[in-house]
Amino acid sequence: MRGEFNGLKVLILQENDTVFYIYCFAHQLQLVVVAVAKKHDGVSNFFEQISMVVNVVCASCTRKDLLREQAREGVQKGLCGGELETERRLNQDTTLVRAEDTRWGSHFNTLTSLMKLFSDVLIVLEFVKVDGGSLANRQQASGILAYFKSYEFVFTYI
């Protein structure tokens, strides 16, 4: 955005030299929060694990389809049991959201989508642990499942 030669600021100032450029303070705040969080070992490890979950679960179409199918079955059971309501835009989250350091609230959206799909994600991870394409994939899924069962995860997540 602020590139010295090709940034948006320069392009705008070339068109109109009377414009003032004000850097987004919310963006700066997000970068500061992410930088501070990465300095804390527990928080940094937590978000690295969450990032690995998104990478493993969303790595192939088969895994994404399995996640969607599990979510669909869960919604059907919830609707039949009266646990879920049917309104516009409800019950539509069927994938995990990738966190980005520069997007305001993306870490929150990642955690929210993981909370909604947690049981479905566990099923996909179990599938990868057993039928993963490579040894590395199976080991990664196994490590994530072990982390989910650890005291550290439960303490950090809750």
Rounded distance, CA 110 to CA 51, Å?
A: 9
Per the confidence metrics, is the pTM higher than 0.75?
A: no
Residues in the chain: 158
C-beta pairs of 113-121 under 8 Å, 24+ apart in sequence: 114/50, 114/53, 117/67, 117/71, 117/93, 119/70, 119/74, 120/67, 120/70, 120/71, 120/74, 121/53, 121/57, 121/67, 121/96
Q: Which amino acid is at 51?
A: S
Residue 90 has a pLDDT of: 52
Q: What is the pLDDT along the chain (158 residues), one digit of tens a residue?
A: 555 556 777 777 788 877 766 667 767 777 788 788 788 888 888 888 888 999 888 888 888 888 888 888 877 777 777 666 666 555 555 677 788 776 657 778 888 888 888 888 999 899 999 987 788 889 999 999 999 888 888 777 65
Rounded distance, CA 119 to CA 36, Å?
A: 30
Residue 92 has a pLDDT of: 54
> Residue ranges per domain, the chain?
1-39, 41-157
